[in-house]
Amino acid sequence: MPTEFEPIIGLEIHAQLLTRTKIFCGCSTKFGTPPNTHGCPVCLGLPGALPVLNRSAVELGIRAAMALDCQIELESVFARKNYFYPDLPKGYQISQYELPLATGGHLSLHESGTDVGITRIHLEEDAGKSLHEGFPDSDLKSHVDFNRSGVPLIEVVTEPDMRSATDAKSFFMTLREILVSLAVNNGNMEEGSLRCDANVSVRPVGQLALGVKTEVKNLNSFRFLERAIEHEINRQIEVLKSGGQITQETRLWDTSADRTLVMRSKEEAHDYRYFPEPDLPLLRISEDWVNEVRRSLPELPSATRVRLVENYGLTAEQVEQLTRVKPSLVTYFEEVVKADVSPKIAINWCLGELTRNLNGRQVDKVKVISQRVPPVALAKLIKLLDSGTISGTIAKEVFEKMCGTGESAEMIVERDGLAQIDSVEMLSDTVNEILTQHHDAVSQYRSGKSGAIGFLVGQVMKATRGKANPKLVNELLRKAIEG
Ligand code: ADP
Ligand code: ZN
Ligand code: MG
């Protein structure tokens, strides 16, 4: 029987912390400003400059660590990681090594149920950015932008607990959702605010020892992450099956070629000559601070999901959609329900019309819409529909106007004369007109094609611009035809 192989994956994730200023100086962390406009002796690595730790960076690190069930280390140590690169002016990166901020957490993936151990979370500074393209002299020179130099990061290191590319993707998505919901990170992978490296190995099924791993870098989208890991798994299996050996190395995912390429042979920790940072004291965190941060922690996405099912009876699919569109829609939905609308109807509006109206709009769409149409205003619209004052079609039309102008539903219905027509007198003329105009449909209905009634109802609705009560129209048409 041919040997079956089992993939093993561990992830290392770098997340920029949402502080206003850098981790060891007062320079701005703002993204997208002209190159080299946020620099000072500290983050440019000038000799003699002294780092001062940013308290908010530590606090955000603690928040992330708590959400991942880690133990917060009340004493941790900054260390120098020495290496040479043009975007690293000091010649070392200040990171944490032997004693990190947090250890021993875990995160379970709600799709597969896999429980992924978190080895550690540590604080460190980001490096600058080398720019190899986009300048007139790019064929001769590379340029360096130090705006990112010294931006605070956490690195989250997982145990080798994932067993498929899908698991790894799902871990990264879940982690992103948590970090974003805690306002620890903005989740922007294109701008490099959230980056993932994957460690991949395979072993024959049944073998206990782990195989030799490679590290795949440049995984800046969920799709690339999954594809790159899948490719790397298959590559390793092929090497082993043809009698070869895996070399421990760093590989780069080449998007255009759809494969991984060797970048460098893997360096060992001793190559970095880590040693404790002499310019920074021990990082001490008081129990009080830990407790304070714990109290300020918002509900985590996984708990929100459970609550949405238990309190409102939403289906798993609805919960997935609601939390995916934008977490702030959760609060919106709950407010609509609080304004006395049944959860079933409220969720249909949130995932239907509301989401449709969000799609065409810019930036913080939820914020804009909830200012124009606060949950209570939507609840009022739903009540107009519920009481039969307006028809379903009209309700959608009114909602769109509300999103555009911020007027109330009552106001729009009144001004535009949109109230539902549901008196027999007001409808009978139109009904008769439609009947005389569409003899064929009438005879079809008479000869047993009951579907023809739908067409006739549609015609009346069209003639009344959607205002007629469709149920009543249906009744009137039947009566008139059946005599
Ligand atoms: P290194 O010494 O190369 O930095 P570590 O033991 O510190 O390796 O682990 C780094 C990452 O690689 C962690 O996410 C860990 O889970 C993962 N990892 C370690 N060994 C393996 C392996 N054999 N296969 C897959 N992932 C692994
Ligand atoms: Zn600075
Ligand atoms: Mg390591």
Does residue 8 line the site of ligand 1, with CB under 6 A?
A: yes
Query: Ligand 1: does its nearest atom lie under 6 Å from the Cβ of 160?
Result: yes
Q: Is 156 in the pocket of ligand 1 (CB under 6 A)?
A: no
* Count of Cβ atoms closer than 10 Å to residue 472 Cβ: 19
The domains found in the chain, sorted by start residue, are 5-289 (no CATH), 299-416 (no CATH), 424-482 (1.10.10.410)
Q: Are 323 and 333 in contact (CB under 8 A)?
A: no
Sign of CA dihedral 459, 463, 469, 473: negative
What is the atom index within ligand 1 of the atom nearest the CA of 201? 24
How many distinct helices (H) and strands (E) make up the chain?
17, 16
Residue 271, burial from CB neighbour count under 10 angstroms (0-12, 13-18, 19+) = exposed
| Whole-structure pTM value | 0.82
The pLDDT of residue 391 is 85
> CB of 199 closer than 6 A to ligand 1?
yes
Exposed / middle / buried, residue 116 (Cβ in 10 Å: 0-12, 13-18, 19+): buried
**Cα of 95 from ligand 2 centre, angstroms:** 17
Cα–Cα distance for residue pair 456/445, rounded to 1 Å: 10
Q: How far apart are CA 1 and CA 467, in angstroms?
A: 71
- CA–chain centroid gap for 467, Å, is 40
Please indicate whether residue 122, judged by its CB atom, sits closer than 6 Å to ligand 1.
no
Q: Which residues, given as ranges, of the chain have pLDDT below 70? A: 1-2, 266, 360-364
323-345: pLDDT as tens digits: 877 777 899 999 999 999 999 99
Round to whole Å and give the CA distance between 155 and 133: 28
pLDDT of residue 364: 60
- Structure tokens of 68? 């991942």
Place of tokens 């790397």: 232
Ligand 1 pocket member 202 (CB < 6 A): no
Asked whether the beta carbons of 58 and 69 are under 8 A apart, the reply is no
What's the 306 CA to ligand 1 centre distance in angstroms? 33
Closest CA to 348 of 399, 307, 301, 389: 399
Which of 72, 70, 90 has its CA nearest to residue 80?
Answer: 90
Q: What share of the chain is helix, strand, coil (3-state, %, to 5)?
A: 40, 20, 40
Q: Which of 201, 213, 268 is the pocket-test mutation for ligand 1 (most atoms within 8 Å of CB)?
A: 213
pLDDT tens for 203-237 read: 999 999 999 999 999 888 999 999 999 999 999 99
Asked if residue 213 has its Cβ within 6 Å of ligand 1, the reply is yes
Question: How many Å lie between the centroid of ligand 3 and the Cα of residue 305?
Answer: 34
Ligand 1 atom nearest 212 alpha carbon: 23
Place of tokens 């250890």: 103
CA pair distance 419, 395, nearest whole angstrom: 10
CA distances from 415 to 195, 275, 342, 383, 408 (A): 53, 74, 28, 18, 11
The dihedral sign for the CA sequence 266, 278, 37, 142: negative
DSSP E strands in 98-168: the ranges are 102-108, 115-125, 129-131, 143-145, 152-158
Nearest ligand to residue 38 Cα:
2
Q: 159 CB less than 6 Å from ligand 1?
A: yes
- Give the model's pLDDT for residue 149: 98
Is the CB of residue 96 below 6 angstroms from any atom belonging to ligand 1?
no
Q: Would the CA dihedral through 24, 30, 32, 37 be positive or negative? A: negative
∠ CA 389-390-396, nearest 5°, is 150
- The number of angstroms, rounded, from the C-alpha of 171 to the middle of its chain's C-alpha atoms is 12
CA 150 to CA 21: how far, in whole Å? 9
Ligand located closest to 157 CA: 1
* Residues 6 or more apart in contact with residue 209 via CB below 8 angstroms: 203
Q: Atom 19 (ligand 1): residue with closest C-alpha?
A: 160
Atom of ligand 1 at shortest distance to CA of 160?
A: 16
Helix (H) or strand (E) holding 219: strand 214-219
Smallest-distance ligand from the CA of 54 = 2
Ligand 2 centroid from CA 42, angstroms: 5
Close Cβ partners of 166 (under 8 Å, ≥ 6 residues apart): 111, 112, 226
CA of 202 to the centre of ligand 1 (A): 12
